[in-house]
Each structure stands twice: as structure tokens, then as C-alpha cells.
């Protein structure tokens, strides 16, 4: 089982679709940069892919996922500083339904800059944790690690916004409930999502 890379076509497709939505909506709102500040929440739809393994690498994911998120932004001049928590509930397995993760939780900080009156580009860093699945065992243990990401958001009208996000995750620890299980840790998990949300 050789190393399997993330499906770049999916990532490129979601980013391109997000860019097209941004271009289409460029004139639909006349938001001030201050409109990025405050609480927000929304839903995401996208794909996850990556690998698990030790001496060998097994593909994980490459499937559609759904997510929910909420956060808060503070405005400092033209810079947006934020904190966000997200939840991805989809099961994500390798092709043999042996190793996988579910109930993925992200906690991350974001730093953004306004590209126009209604669009910002942001980067993120954070921590993630998820249930570690071994042969379908929903209580196989926990996997944790670090994440970095890049995305954009475009304000629409009535507090609505659309956006896109690509987040890459590395694994720092896998805590197995049964030490006898094969310890092949998730590695290089990447999500690419289109997001729709509301600011309050």
C-alpha cells in the first residue's frame, strides 16, 4: 500500500468554486470591514482526504463531509482576529474500513485581512481531536494534533456570508483504549469546504 496523496482535484474544485462565488457576489453587498466583527455561525460542505499508517500509508477519506462551526471576530484596524470552534461529524475511513476517524473537533485562531469592502482572506492555526476508529470500533481511542489553514469570506446581505476553507492537519498523539490495537495514526488529514454562515 503506497502513500496516497490528497485528491487535489477536489481541493482545486472547491477553491475555484469559492472564487467564482466571490466574484459573482462582489457587488451584492456594501459592507464595511467592521461588519466582519462579532459572533458568527454556519455550516460547511466539502471533502476530507489523507493517510494513516506507520511504515506503510493507507488512504483515508476522499469523501464528502458536513460540518458546523461558530466563532467570534475582533477588528483591529484592517486586521480581523478571531477564534472558532468547528465540528465535522462524518465517518472517514481508509478503503478497507480498517482505520478511520469521526467526530472531528477543531479549535483554532484566525487572522484575516480585508481584500475589499466585503471580502477578507484569512489564515488559521489550531488544535484538533477526533475519535480514532479501528475496524469500525467507535471507541478505539482518541487522535489529536495541530492544524493550519487558509480561507476567505465574502459578506452578502442581511448578515449572510459565503466562504471557502482548506485546512491541513498533522497528528501529534493517538491514545488507544486497547493498547493491543494496531497503532496506525491518522496523518496529513486535509479538508476543503465551502461555507455558508450568518453574522449576528
Residue 1 domain flag: no
Domain range enclosing 115: 8-199
Residue with cell 459578506: 155
What is the domain count for the chain? 1
Residue 84 domain flag: yes
Q: CA angle, 35 as apex, 30 and 36 as ends, to 5°?
A: 120
How far is 5 from 59, CA to CA, in rounded Å? 8
Residue 3 domain flag: no
Closest to 144 (Cα-Cα) out of 117, 108, 169, 119: 169
pLDDT at res. 46: 86
User: Higher-confidence residue: 150 or 102?
Assistant: 150
pLDDT above 50 for 2: no
Q: Across the chain, what does the average pLDDT equal?
A: 77
pLDDT at res. 29: 47
CATH code, domain carrying 17: 2.40.160.20
How far is 75 from 92, CA to CA, in rounded Å? 36
**Range of lowest pLDDT (17-26, 29-38, 174-183):** 17-26
User: Higher-confidence residue: 69 or 189?
Assistant: 69
pLDDT at res. 55: 54
How far is 191 from 46, CA to CA, in rounded Å? 7
Q: Are 124 and 167 in contact (CB under 8 A)?
A: yes
Amino acid at each position: 500500500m503506497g502513500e496516497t496523496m490528497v485528491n487535489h482535484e477536489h481541493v482545486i474544485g472547491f477553491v475555484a468554486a469559492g472564487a467564482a462565488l466571490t466574484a459573482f457576489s462582489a457587488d451584492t453587498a456594501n459592507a464595511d470591514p467592521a461588519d466582519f466583527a462579532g459572533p458568527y455561525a454556519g455550516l460547511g460542505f466539502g471533502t476530507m482526504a489523507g493517510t494513516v499508517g506507520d511504515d506503510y500509508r493507507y488512504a483515508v477519506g476522499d469523501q464528502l463531509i458536513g460540518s458546523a462551526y461558530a466563532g467570534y471576530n475582533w477588528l483591529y484596524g484592517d486586521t480581523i482576529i478571531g477564534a472558532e470552534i468547528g465540528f465535522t461529524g462524518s465517518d472517514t475511513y481508509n478503503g478497507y474500513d480498517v482505520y478511520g476517524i469521526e467526530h472531528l473537533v477543531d479549535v483554532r485562531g484566525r487572522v484575516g485581512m480585508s481584500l475589499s469592502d466585503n471580502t477578507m482572506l484569512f489564515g488559521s492555526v489550531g488544535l484538533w481531536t477526533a475519535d480514532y476508529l479501528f475496524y469500525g470500533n467507535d471507541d478505539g481511542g482518541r487522535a489529536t494534533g495541530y492544524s493550519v489553514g487558509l480561507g476567505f469570506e465574502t459578506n452578502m446581505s442581511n448578515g449572510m456570508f459565503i466562504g471557502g476553507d482548506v485546512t491541513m492537519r498533522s497528528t501529534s498523539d493517538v491514545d488507544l483504549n486497547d493498547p493491543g490495537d494496531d497503532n496506525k495514526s491518522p496523518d496529513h488529514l486535509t479538508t476543503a469546504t465551502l461555507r455558508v454562515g450568518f453574522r449576528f
